[in-house]
Homo-oligomer: A and B are copies of this chain.
């Protein structure tokens, strides 16, 4: 047999989830019911669910059920925001959206997002502050086809995190990302918007984010002023 049974079950579950069989935040049928439906034992069904829980596609709660995971503040703060104040405390940043507009994709972004030349992207510029101090300048690129109808108004008035907005409004579930970091100098724009001196050393962080099946859905380039902050990364 090429693939183990629990891998096949995992695939069926994932297919159902991406198809929208169970909307974000709702409960799946019980493990016993799913095992019966797929014609496998509960143990095998659980092994399939285990994997999706590790990938944060599903969320188990003892006594309550198994749910399609929803992006919330904790997920964003712990998994997708790697900047800490020098005191070590993890705080949620204040996001101030400066602009949002649609434009033709540039070559670099097209390559990262696997878009054809000439495709349209939504470009959003944000300034992030921590405890009132401006620290990050963000440039976000989204494939326009996946985010039709996204306006500055909607982006600014989201009640929760950016990735929660992607998920509940556009059905785009960001599961993981890859970041590349270089040192750079502040340019005129960073100096002005972050109130720092030109040519101050900064981090340039590029992020490519993926949804189900490793499809890229967001490309961003951030510049981080690390005088009173740092970027954290776990090894091992």
A residues near B (Cβ < 8 Å) are 56, 79-80, 82, 84, 174-185, 201-203, 207, 209, 224, 226, 229-236
Contact = CB atoms under 8 A, between A and B. Distances in A.
Nearest to A43: B43
Contact of A179 (B175, B179, B229, B232): B232
A222 B183 CA distance: 13
Given A56-B236, A235-B79, A203 B178 contact: no
A233 B176 CA distance: 11
A191 to B, nearest CB: 14
Contacts of A203: 181-183, 203
A230 B206 CA distance: 10
Contacts of A224: 183
Contact of A235 (B176, B184, B226): B176
Contacts of A231: 180-182, 233
- In the A-B complex, the 9 residue pairs with the closest CB atoms: A176-B236, A183-B201, A177-B235, A182-B226, A181-B231, A201-B201, A179-B233, A180-B230, A233-B233
Contacts of A232: 178-181
Contact of A177 (B84, B181, B182, B236): B236
Given A181-B232, A207-B235, 20 more contacts: A82-B233, A175-B236, A176-B236, A177-B235, A178-B234, A179-B232, A179-B233, A179-B234, A180-B231, A180-B232, A180-B233, A181-B230, A181-B233, A182-B226, A182-B231, A183-B184, A183-B203, A183-B224, A184-B201, A209-B235
